Copies of this chain bind each other. A is one copy, B any other.
Amino acid sequence: MKTYLDCIPCFFRQALESARMSGADEKKQKQIVDAVAKSILKISPEFCPPEMARIIHRELGKVTKIKDPYAQIKKKSNRLALGIYGKLKKRMDRSRDKLLVAVELAIAGNIIDYGVKNSLNVDAELARIIDEESRAIRKERKAIFDYVRFKRHLGRARTILYLADNAGETVFDRILIEEIKREDESKEIIYAVKEKPAINDALKEDAITCGIDKIATVISSGADAPGTVLPLCSKKFLKIFRSADMVISKGQGNFEALSGTSRLVFFMFMAKCAVIADEVGCDIGDIILLSHNGR
């Protein structure tokens, strides 16, 4: 997905937020804002938003000398999500279609994203997503939720590449992966995190903290953009991306980076801004399961 002009105010908002999170004083904040303004001048429509965000966060790092401004936020997100893990599992175990609830939870986990402006109340948001009424409304509204296709492809897939999004959200991913493995233990799941800090995206340490390494092979994409920008990824990762039977992609950033790819990807995310809602054809706040092979 290309970077829209409407993404630009958001880049500044995000840069300021990250600058403050890094403890930058006003002078440094202005330096960062200026660096963003200069980057805007060099923006190309071929760049996707995560590529732009990567450039901005590199500039930020140069000014603040802080490598991982979201380190504390990520730890907090992991703790918060691990704290409700038991409750989530019980909720899933109680339900008739466990896989469906696991998918819904995995998408709902995307609300643990301190990279967007409004921090939402986790419990209220979960309740909103995972109830019969919400499902009925989604169905009636013909919301984008390709669950039938997802289930069919999942049944056949031997190797599944699972692209992680944020820290904390990893706990919700664990629930979905556990359910996939419970249904068929022989499936091989490769869980790809980012190589280096990229906003609040999960790194290897987050995947391990959240217990993913016990049920999947944790690898890194080789890149540090807050989205899987293929030209920035490692050869090893690209080989898996091409050869895996199925790719599950979590979060808006990964969708922005991969929406043009020619291979079939199952995107799971919450639409968090007007630009993405327009692009996909949904409302802000919608939970999306979109099977899509670009272009």
A160–B16 CA distance with the chains assembled, in angstroms: 42
A13–B26 CA distance with the chains assembled, in angstroms: 22
Asked whether A5 is an interface residue with its Cβ less than 8 Å from the other chain, the reply is yes
Main secondary structure of the interface of A (DSSP, over half): helix
Chain B residues in 8 Å Cβ range of A16? 5-6, 8-9
A111 to chain B, nearest CB (A): 22
Chain B residues in 8 Å Cβ range of A34? 40-41
Chain B residues in 8 Å Cβ range of A10? 9
A30–B8 CA distance with the chains assembled, in angstroms: 11
A53 to chain B, nearest CB (A): 14
Chain B residues in 8 Å Cβ range of A37? 37-38, 40-41
Number of interface residues of A (CB under 8 A): 17
Chain B residues in 8 Å Cβ range of A289? none
Contact A41–B40 (Cβ < 8 Å)? no
Asked whether A29 is an interface residue with its Cβ less than 8 Å from the other chain, the reply is yes
Contact A9–B5 (Cβ < 8 Å)? no
Asked whether A12 is an interface residue with its Cβ less than 8 Å from the other chain, the reply is yes
Q: Which residues in chain A, 143-182, are within 8 Å of chain B measured between CB atoms?
A: none
Asked whether A33 is an interface residue with its Cβ less than 8 Å from the other chain, the reply is yes
Choice from B9, B26, B30, B38 contacting A9 with Cβ under 8 Å:
B9
Chain B residues in 8 Å Cβ range of A38? 37, 41
Chain B residues in 8 Å Cβ range of A26? 5
A-B contact pairs, 23 of them (CB 8 A): A5-B16, A5-B26, A5-B29, A5-B30, A5-B33, A6-B16, A8-B12, A8-B16, A8-B33, A9-B9, A9-B10, A9-B12, A9-B13, A9-B16, A12-B12, A33-B40, A34-B40, A34-B41, A37-B37, A37-B38, A37-B40, A37-B41, A38-B41
The list of the 6 closest CB pairs from A to B, nearest first, reads A9-B9, A37-B37, A37-B40, A9-B12, A9-B13, A8-B12
Q: A residues touching B (Cβ–Cβ < 8 Å)?
A: 5-6, 8-10, 12-13, 16, 26, 29-30, 33-34, 37-38, 40-41
